[in-house]
Structure 1
Amino acid sequence: MKTTNFSSHFLALLCIAFVSCTTLVAQEYFPKNDGVKSKNDNYTAFTNATIIVSPTKTIKKGTLLIKDGKVSAVGTSITLPKNTVKINLEGKRIYPSFIDAYSDFGITPPKSERRSFGQSPQYDSNRKGYYWNEHIRAETDALDSFKFDSKKAEELRNAGFGVVNTHMPDGIVRGNGILVALNSKDSDAKRLLDVKSAQYLSFNKSRTSRQSYPTSLMGAMALLRQVYLDADWYAKGNVNTKDLTLEAFNNNKNLKQIFYAGDKHNALRADKIGDQFGVQYTIVGKGNEYQLIDEIKNTNATFIIPINFPKAYDVTNPYQADFISLADMRYWNQAPINLGVLAKNNVPFSITTSELKSLKDFTKNLQKAIDYGLDKTKALEALTTIPAQILGKSNEIGTLNKGMQANFLITDGDIFDSKTKLYENWVQGTRNIINDMSVIDLTGEYTLNLSGKTYTITFSGSAEKPKVSIKTDSIKLKGNATYTDNWLGLIIMDKGDIHRLSARILSDSNTITGNAQLSNGATTNWSAIKKTNSLKTEKSDKRKNNLHEIMPITYPNIGYGYAEKPTSETILFKNATVWTNEEEGILKNTDVLLKNGKIAKIGTNLSAGSAKVIDATGKHLTAGIIDEHSHVAAHSVNEAGHNSSAEVTIEDNIDSEDINIYRNLGGGVTSMQILHGSANPIGGRSAIVKLKWGEIGDNMIYSNSPKFIKFALGENVKQSRYPTTTNRFPQSRMGVEQMLIDYFQRAKEYETLKKSGKPYRKDIEMEVLVEILNKERFITAHSYVQSEINMLMKVAEKFNFNVNTFTHILEGYKVADKMKKHGVGGSTFADWWAYKYEVLDAIPYNASIMHNVGIVTAINSDDREMSRRLNQEAAKTVKYGGVSEEEAWKFVTLNPAKLLHIDDRVGSIKVGKDADVVLWSDHPLSVYAKAEKTIIEGVIYFDLEKDKQQREAIKKERNKLINMMLNEKNGGAPTQAPKRKVKEELHCDTINY
């Protein structure tokens, strides 16, 4: 029976080769000049197979019937038409072919337009009739650039894929994609399943444009928001001219929206924009989503996840091993669990090959993900039904139900098992052979009996060209094997005896029988019995035995992260020296009770109850330090593409994993204003945050946060230090003044139109400037010289508002009286001077002079190192100007709180205020003082003793990870060279996008 099945199967394959080449022809109305017109109406039936119709539906001993590239029927009791070619797939499985929902197949991305040295940036668009910003390219049609790539198609089919969704990966709005069947034997007329499959977006600029804006992540986000507003304005018929980009954007709104985020935090940023405009994006991730799984789940988005696990680092050189951050080591260690974590948390996702350097890694990485916890059903869904759902094509692809595209795989076992062989990948009813099904695989270990002697024969390698290993009595013998057309030839060399064996392999059986010619010329029969799944099982077990221990995830998932997010506690400090910053002054031997995130009681002999009691005898308790001017915890600080960037906000741009947050906590800092830089006169909006280490950026921002924006004056904004590389207005200090007047005048006119009830184009930039005019948003102005300080106050007074804070203001001592009259505060450096021309007149007495005149004065950092020593910076004002210790301490606590309009919540120790306090080992202005505990809203975010424990734990973890990587390398796994990643230190003038 098995011989008959094989023979009929082989003949059927010959028939189907003819059928698949003749059934799918060009449209019948095309003229043909090559003979009589004919049409093949044959069906093809695949019988006796285990058919995985969908990830949750399997048919055993089933039949799949196809015709004209579609599934005609599937089931166990199917009546086959007379004109049916049958293929017996007994012992085989049929799966739906895979779908890649995110690809650039057949499309060559453009080369980058790189600026040469000395070349000015491009500010205006070179395109007419399109949107003003060249990085918005909604009009891009992937079909215009598409060319079917037969070689790449074959590679994808060999990996199990039948359909890909491809696009032009260029720009912030990238236009529409196309859905392509990987059918190399037909034309695009057959292959193209959808010529407008989705609209694509990202935060990345176009490589084909030199247009400078945006120069930052926050700029890209602001631009995308403005595009949504402009598209709506255009759709309502409010624009007299044609904008082909906005027309395309509006036309594409009904398509699936696929957003390339490429990172867990960017995924949250993209979702925030989508929520703002009522769009649910499908988000392309990175593979690190497991690190923020709760937040990822809350997006309610479907994800497309690359499966490009990082290689282990080559850590054989101890010096180079020190280059590698713990975060990068952990990512190598933890990345394989990502898909499993997503699945267990019911986050829908599909899998893409888009980030793989070699498609050969796809199957290996997928099996690795399964080994590390990905359920096989979820894996199949991620490759079939979910990408079909993403693309709105569940009625065409992704399953093998009746009427679906005949895209399917034929295997000899579980598709996700490393020992399974993929034989064929049928795409639109067209057969593609990957491994010849007619070749019977001998792989495995056999016990061979020959003339009363027992040999162990092991076949390995490919089915078509097996390698052989021969042993007897544990002694390895010489020999070789040939295998052609299922005829096996085997030579055994045993102590001078040469035996020649042959056999006809007629079925995939556990027994091989044949004839042998012995070395003495005699002939005999022989047989070999296979040990069940021996070699394949060993291979699978070996892979699973190589699994490494997964390091625990922390919050954030870098060094000094917490195993669990800390929570608010009831804490009683006993016998502390309390710096209240209130009328009570400094209180000796005083107790302070923190409860429910607030300062609950201040006094002596307070009862503890269930509170954590901390003996603060001989120690000092103060309000947490507040840094009025910082750039830590930001991905970028400047949107330098325009002379005004009021539309951007640092709140979009918070880097909650910046280690400087933790270091600042170690310096007693609890709050800060993260400011935009000084690349332009009107900068971006601020983020006022609490340093809640382990939380995402949005959870660090003050609730009901006061509204601030950064302005700048001086050398930076007029670009005096790089005049040959820019032509952006203004180029002079007088130009800065006129530019500010112009923008505020425009804002006034904008508000007048808005209040008139007439239609108006909502402009995010103008909306922010109107807030300034209405005294709803406060200005922190980067400043140095007196003339410009005077100028900005006069401009503000001209438009009837006040500047809130001059920051830096190193010539504030010259105009302190005018500042007092205007009502502006000053936030300055303690003793920085002479680091550029406009600072030549700076003096260390500046802070004390402004303070003595009655100006609310603060000391700020503008520097990641200084920010964790602000207590010492404040102490300098005692030396330079004789400021009292209590007043000096207010320079970094209560005064910046007043400048930021948060002094009702923080800045002093007062009942009812937020429990943001620091316990110091010594006088807080002393160079010997250490922050022993830094607490925000009753949560201990820094503990000196715990910090020591963490340092030791980090050493142990690094050592464990290094040993794992050494084992990987010793086991033959490929590695990557160590890389030193140093986060750029951000200052006012940093441009880093």
Structure 2
Amino acid sequence: MLKNYLASMAIVFSMSLFAQDYFPKNDGVHTVNKNYTAITNAKLFVTPTQIIENGTLLIQDGKVVATGSSVSIPKNSIIIDVEGKSIYPSFIDVFSSFGIEVPNASSASSRRSRQYDASRTGYYWNDHIMPEKHATDAFNYNTKEATELLKAGFGVVNTHIPDGIVRGTGVLIALNNEQGNQYRIIDENSGQYSSFSKSITSQQAYPTSLMGSMALLRQVFIDADWYAGGHIDTKDLSLEAFNDNKNLIQFFDAGSRANIMRADKVGDAYGVQYVMLGGGDEYERVADIKASQAKLILPLNFPDAYDVEDPFLSSALTLGDMKAWNQRPSNPKILSENDIIFAFTTHSSKSLKEFRENLLKVIEAGLSKEKALEALTMIPAQLLGKEQLIGSLEKGHLANFIVTSGDIFDKKTTIYENWVQGNKTTFEDINKKDIKGDYKVTLANENYSMSISGELSKPKIEVKQGEQKLNANLTYKDDWVNIAIASKDSTKQEFIRITALTEKDRVLRGKYILPNGSEFPLKITAEEKEAEDSKSETETKDTNILLPITYPNKAYGFAEIPRAETMLFKNATVWTNEKDGILENTDVLIKDGKISKIGKNLSNGKATVIDATGKHLTAGIIDEHSHIAAAAINEAGQNSSAEVTIEDVINETDVNIYRNLAGGVTSIQILHGSANPIGGRSAIIKLKWGESADNLIYDNTPKFIKFALGENVKQSNWSGGRFPQTRMGVEQVYIDYFTRAKEYDALKKSGKPYKTDLELEVLAEILNKERFISCHSYVQSEINMLMKVAEKFNFNINTFTHILEGYKVADKMVEHGVGGSTFSDWWAYKFEVNDAIPYNASIMHNAGVTVAINSDDAEMSRRLNQEAAKTIKYGGVSEEDAWKFVTLNPAKLLHLDDRVGSIKVGKDADVVLWSHNPLSIYAKAEKTIIEGVTYFDIEQDKKMREAIKTEKNQLINMMLQSKNKGDKTQPVKKKEHKHLHCDSIENEI
């Protein structure tokens, strides 16, 4: 009767829903359904913290009217008794592309050559900026996909077009299979979406790098503000849309901890607090994430264990990758413990089944069920600004809820129904009794074990007699269970048949029939296994130990970020790099991160005393030209990329930082590459291994930018149609840009209104002698050319780096006032290097040029002490001057010699203790200290190596256990660490 009644009411209800109120009603009799639906006797999760036992949920017109334990039920109510069942708010996915056809890249990525010409007129100059896009225009409701989401518990999705740097607005959709978009669309402008990834359909080359995307975003904010002020006469629909969307919630597809911090930096500069899509690695720097105040959207896509049965292959795994498998499921728990707000998303899950499995993993890893439910309901509603409409079952909210057999986070729980806007989608018959479980049964004095599993509507059975598995079939219909069990003897076609009616609490009552036709009564009850399950979970947790987070969270990471100490070096040979020269048997006191005292017989009661007898203490090595510790090196999309900065893309986890410390390096300049005549701005950092990216950068760092000459910028070494194509063209690029920068600077200083141009701002700093140029150079004709261009615009080049023909123009360099940072003996690795000689450094030095030896290479930078020593062989440079080539001289070229580069009272305590003369091939850096903090210690390094072996073996054992349990594994693939150089072009972003 109840089923027939519900069916008839559904027909009446649908008549009122498939037409909007203002549509004409002239095709028959129309009835408006005003009935209520009361769902009673449920365990009702109104919110994750408000739970009502034996509660009633009253709904009408697709909304919640009341919830409680004593709700007054109106007479015109359909009453549904769900005794023993649970009701939860339907889930919300705040970062989806549901119903959106992902744009087809076709061959656009291979045809990206245009520098400026946008494919659209009336819009922003860069095709990757598309705030005018609306997801509603591209949205098509997909009933099949919606049903899968409903089956997984979702009721609302926030969908958008996943293409471009600024992607336009999203649309908030109720997964209502019964009604049209006029009911489904909750908000047609649910937020604006952005990312660092360019459009896959555009042919525009710029940007080609992460730092280019960041610079472009900054310029968009500036241009939109200028446009809003009425300063641009022409129409720009993109900037108009960008301004219109400013008051919307701003979502950002970051995808990693590092990119969250980068996006937050951009947002903070322009007063925007993004809601960030994370990457699952936020736990590695949870304090930084919390400080950003970003609210997060977390994908649940954890790495599988590696197949480590082959010892040879497993040796190729990095500790960092192995720890990610172990630690990532704990990311939500750690964020929760630090009061960081987050929601879950199905984004990047391979399937909804995988999403469900990983959801249970995070709970097993320690996230409370209450917080997990919040992350699926209330938090996404809050992030969307719709907490008064969705996310809970409070009065006035949409009637979006799921009916389950029990705890939604129990893998055995069945989702019977998902109601969205009062419309029910049924997956299992709610009145069908759950017979899943393990049973013990005695049939004709023989003991059997039966295990029933699978879906409620399609259960499957496994029967064993002792250890022997028997063939068995099961059918379940209208509460009747029929089971046929084959004989143990496979040669006999004999069966024992069971027919039983299901009762409450998984009780089966009926009879069994032997092969001879004899019948016997039967009653069996599913076994309770809670205690056994609990024990199993405990054992699992004991074997799968969560490894501690280190800084950085990989090999050679510190358990805690090291702190400054007071240290006293006794009886060292001290290379001061000052007028005192090399001091024998001398003490050096380091205090408060500075060099405090230099002398003999020093004492300090609080200092850690280090016996340096027979050892050498020097200033730390400084590499003027490096490309380590960066996530990008070239922005190659334009012939000038002055607007980008390497500071945006520092990778503080690059193991080359640690390796450089082991070679006595304490500071480096990370230079932009040489893809264009005017490159990007530099990052000058100290190698503070374990610190965050921003904490590596020098305080009040001097401003530098990379220029480049020669083969790379005219694209001799790769195909490209961008100007310039010749060395003559390179000169014209400089003249053109500096002419424009001069005009821009004059306008800026005039007091008249002007639009900030990030690129010209930087070039104006050069004209105003506020920013220094380090220029990639080889051929003497171009070196002369650039000095003349600089003199024409009344500034100097600071450093010619590489400068392997510097010996030809050393006199002119001295006259111009430019330094030279070179290689010791590189030669003939490309055509324009054919005239290089190993005497280059000594010739420039003898002519009066400030000379440094640089690396431009992650391997060479670890042995710059030996590279400096080569200048003694090639040119007879003194030991002290040779040592200055990698310490004091690069400090002078970087305008940091007042802080580093020598051992002098008051300077930063950036020092290295060497086992031998630092210019010797036998010299080892025993301690590398930056501002009084020991970042490398040769004895500690030995202990770290043993700890790495122990941790890897521990993880290997866990992965083997995981495989034995039947968990998925992934093959071991060796990752080649790519060393970046001047000509490294990143993959398309």
Same fold by TM-score greater than 0.5: yes
CA distance in 2, matches of 1:987, 1:516: 78
Q: Is the aligned partner of 1:874 residue 2:868?
A: yes
SS in structure 2 at match of 1:79? coil
Name 1:303's counterpart in structure 2.
296
**Structure 1 CA distance, aligned partners of 2:213 and 2:861?**
29
Q: Give the match for residue 736 of structure 2.
A: 742
Q: State the shift of 1:609 in Å.
A: 0.9
| Alignment partners' CA distance in 1, 2:437 and 2:478 | 19
Give the whole-Å Cα distance in 2 for the aligned partners of 1:190 and 1:113. Answer: 35
Which residue is equivalent to 1:195?
Answer: 188
Asked whether the equivalents of residues 17 and 431 of structure 1 are also in contact (C-alpha less than 8 Å), the reply is no
The letter for the 1-side match of 2:595 is I
SS of the residue corresponding to residue 920 of structure 2 reads: coil
Is the contact between residue 20 and residue 430 of structure 1 (CA under 8 Å) also seen in structure 2? no
| 1:772 equivalent in structure 2 | 766
- Normalised by the length of structure 1, the TM-score is 0.95
Partner of 1:216: 209
Query: For residue 603 of structure 2, what is the aligned residue in structure 1?
Result: 607
What is the RMSD computed on CA atoms of the aligned residues? 2.2
The answer to whether the 8 A contact 2:90-2:155 is kept is yes
The reply to whether residue 944 of structure 1 matches residue 938 of structure 2 is yes
| 1:56 corresponding residue in structure 2 | 49
Are 2:23 and 1:26 equivalent residues in the alignment?
A: no
Residue matched to 1:808: 802
- Give the CA deviation at 1:743: 1.1
CA distance 1:66–1:388, shift in 2 (3 Å): same
The match for 2:565 is: 569
Residues 473 and 873 of structure 1: CA distance in aligned 2, closer, same or farther (over 3 Å):
closer
- The partner residue of 1:886 within 872, 880, 890 is 880
Residue aligning to 1:238:
231
Give the Å deviation of 1:485. 0.9
Q: How does 1:692-841 map to 2 (within 5 A)?
A: 692-722=688-718, 725-841=719-835
1:487 aligns with 2:480: yes
Secondary structure of 2:895's counterpart equals coil
**Equivalents in 2 of 1:94, 1:347: separation in Å?**
27
Structure 2 counterpart of 1:416, from 409, 415, 440: 409
Which among 660, 664, 670 is matched to residue 666 of structure 2? 670
Q: Aligned equivalents of 1:464 and 1:244: distance in 2?
A: 54
Distance 2:407 2:383 in 1: 25
Contact 2:112 2:202 (C-alpha < 8 Å) held by counterparts: no
1:105-134 deviation digits (Å, cap 9, x = unpaired) = 011111225368798555422221110111
- What are the superposed Cα offsets for residues 613-650 of structure 1, whole Å, 9 maximum, x if unpaired? 11111110000000011111111111111111111100
**Which residue in 1 is equivalent to 2:177?**
184
Aligned position for 2:621 = 625
**Equivalent pair of 1:671/1:688 in contact (CA under 8 Å):** yes
The CA deviation at 1:494 is 7.8
* Distance verdict in 2 for CA 1:357–1:456, change over 3 Å: closer
| Matching residue of 1:258 | 251
1:23 touches 1:40 (CA, 8 Å); kept in 2?
Answer: yes
Match of 1:291 in 2: 284
SS at match of 1:716: coil
Structure 1 residues without counterparts, runs of 5 or longer: 1-6
| Larger displacement relative to structure 2 (401-410 or 742-751) | 742-751
Q: What does 1:292-441 align with in structure 2 at a 5 Å threshold?
A: 292-441=285-434
In the superposition, relative to structure 1, how do residues 471 and 244 fare at CA in structure 2: closer, same or farther (>3 Å)?
closer
CA contact (8 A) 1:638 1:676 kept: yes
Partners of 1:411 and 1:65 lie apart in 2 by 17
Kindly provide the amino acid, as one letter, of the partner of residue 631 in structure 1: H
d(CA) in 2 for partners of 1:195 and 1:987? 47
Task: Say whether the 8 Å CA contact 1:407–1:426 is kept in structure 2.
Answer: yes
Deviation of 1:265 after TM superposition, in Å, equals 0.4
- Cα distance in 1 for partners of 2:602, 2:183 equals 82
Deviation of residue 456 (structure 1)? 5.2
Mapped partners of 2:16, 2:531: distance in 1 = 41
SS in 1 for 2:344: strand
Residue 604 of structure 1 and its aligned partner are, at CA, apart by 1.1
Aligned amino acid, residue 769 of structure 2 = K
CA distance in 1, matches of 2:124, 2:463: 72
Q: 1:803 to 1:503 in 2, by over 3 A?
A: same
Whole-angstrom CA distance in 2 between matches of 1:464 and 1:730: 69
Q: Does 1:925 align with 2:922?
A: no
Report the CA distance shift for 1:453/1:836 in structure 2 as closer, same or farther (over 3 A): closer
Larger CA deviation: 52-61 vs 644-653:
52-61
CA 1:477–1:279 in 2, change beyond 3 Å: closer, same or farther? closer
| Residues 961 and 451 of structure 1: CA distance in aligned 2, closer, same or farther (over 3 Å) | closer
**CA pair 962-501 structure 1, distance change in 2 beyond 3 A:** closer
TM-score for both structures, normalised by structure 2:
0.96
- Aligned-pair CA distance for 1:530: 3.5
Distance 2:98 2:458 in 1: 32
The size of the alignment, in residue pairs, is 981
The 3 A distance-change label for structure 1 pair 861 and 450 is closer
Greater displacement, 951-960 / 373-382: 951-960
How far did residue 797 of structure 1 move? Answer: 1.4
1:4 corresponds in structure 2 to none
Aligned-partner SS, 1:827: strand
Of 674, 680, 685, 2:676 maps to 680
| Partner amino acid, structure 1, of 2:612 | A
Moved more, 821-830 or 473-482: 473-482
**In structure 2, do the counterparts of structure 1 residues 571 and 180 end up closer, same or farther at CA, with 3 Å as the change threshold?**
same
Q: How far did residue 30 of structure 1 move?
A: 2.5
Question: Does the CA contact (< 8 Å) of 2:131 and 2:166 recur in 1?
Answer: yes
Q: 1:493 to 1:752 in 2, by over 3 A?
A: closer
Residue identity over aligned pairs, in percent, reads: 63
Unaligned segments of structure 2, at least 5 residues: none
Cα–Cα, structure 1 residues 110 and 670, in superposed 2: closer, same or farther, change >3 Å?
same
Structure 1 stretch displaced more, 951-960 or 853-862: 951-960
Q: Is the 8 A contact 2:807 2:844 kept in 1?
A: yes
The correspondence for 1:526, drawn from 522, 528, 532, is 522
User: Is the alpha carbon distance of 1:51 and 1:836 closer, same or farther for their aligned partners in structure 2, counting shifts above 3 Å?
Assistant: same
Instruction: Provide Cα deviations, 1:685-710, integer angstroms capped at 9, x if missing partner.
Output: 10010000011211000000001111
Q: Are residues 35 and 539 of structure 1, via their aligned partners in 2, closer, same or farther at CA, if it must alter by over 3 Å?
A: farther
Query: C-alpha distance in 2, partners of 1:791/1:454?
Result: 96
Distance 2:112 2:12 in 1: 61
Residue 519 of structure 1, CA deviation: 6.0
User: C-alpha distance in 1, partners of 2:877/2:14?
Assistant: 92
* Distance (Å, rounded) in 1 between the aligned partners of 2:775 and 2:364: 56
- Pairwise CA distance, 1:477: 6.7
Instruction: Say which SS state the counterpart of residue 929 (structure 1) adopts.
Output: coil
Partner of 1:589: 585
Partners of 2:110 and 2:504 lie apart in 1 by 67
How far apart are residue 714 of structure 1 and its match?
1.4
Aligned-residue offset at 1:38: 2.1
CA contact (8 A) 1:633 1:654 kept: yes
Superposed CA deviations along residues 903-931 of structure 1, whole A, max 9, x for unmatched, are: 11100001111010000010100011010
Structure 1 position 909 matched with structure 2 position 903:
yes
Do structure 1's residue 555 and structure 2's residue 561 form an aligned pair?
A: no
**Structure 1: distance between partners of 2:501 and 2:830:** 88
**3-state SS of the aligned residue for 1:834?**
coil
Given the superposition, is the C-alpha separation of residues 321 and 367 from structure 1 closer, same or farther in structure 2, using an over 3 Å criterion? same
Q: Shift of the alpha carbon at 1:453?
A: 8.0
Moved more, 449-458 or 392-401: 449-458
Shift of 1:897: 0.4
Matched residue, 1:656: 652
Change (3 A) 1:223 1:521: closer
